[in-house]
Structure 1
């Protein structure tokens, strides 16, 4: 299954009763396995979970900590980018050259790298010898 297909399928499971804005995300780990996540809204904003964060959590829960490719999809007029928090979360587990495809349900796509999405990402090097 492709990342696009996986993201498209999981998007249908999103819990978005308040915004109606369903998002699906799929990522490929270094092992080649695909992990998926969808947004999960909560009436007590901002207690929801983004699709990208869900996919990352699934990957980590499976014992993996490196992602190599990401696909995010939503029913929007233009490709939806990960929010700032999710950009940082993706950067925690992927190098700057990781390809992130952002798509719409109508088929429009935009591709960027993690470094393009989050230039100057905060990383372990910023922590020094702790």
Structure 2
């Protein structure tokens, strides 16, 4: 299964009764395993969970902590980038050089890096006082 196949499949399971904007995300971990997640909305909008966060949670729950590739898909006119919070979440587990492919359901794609998505990333090094 490819990242695109995994993201397309999980997107269909998104719970988006309020926005009607289903998103799927798939990550390849360092082991080569693919983890997927979809957005899950809540009536106490915006207390939902993004697709990227769901995929990261699945990866961490499986005992992995390093992303080597990511893909996000949505039914939108142009490839949709992750929100700011998800950009930071991706940067927590992926190097700045890791590719993130943004896709639409009609076949458009744009590939960026985590560094492109979040220049000037906040890291643990910013908390070092030694």
TM class, shorter-chain normalised? over 0.9
Map of 1:1-130 to 2, 5 A cutoff? Answer: 1-129=1-129
Structure 1, gaps ≥5 residues long: none
Determine the C-alpha separation between the residues in 2 that align with 1:19 and 1:94. Answer: 29
Instruction: For structure 2, list consecutive stretches of 5 or more residues without a partner in the other structure.
Output: none
Aligned length: 130
Q: TM-score, normalised by structure 2?
A: 0.98
Deviation at 1:62, TM superposition (A): 0.2
For residues 82-114 of structure 1, what are the alpha-carbon distances to aligned partners after superposition, in whole Å with 9 as ceiling and x for unaligned? 000000000000000000000000000010000
Q: Structure 1 runs of 4+ off > 2 angstroms? A: none
State the SS of the aligned residue for 1:98. strand
**Once the two structures are superposed, what CA deviation does each residue of 1:53-95 show, in whole Å capped at 9, x if it has no partner?**
0000000000000000000000000001000000000000000
Q: TM-score, normalised by structure 1?
A: 0.98
Question: Deviations 1:17-57 (Å, cap 9, x if unpaired)?
Answer: 01110000000000000000000000101210000000000
- Between the aligned partners of 2:6 and 2:123, the Cα distance in structure 1 is 29
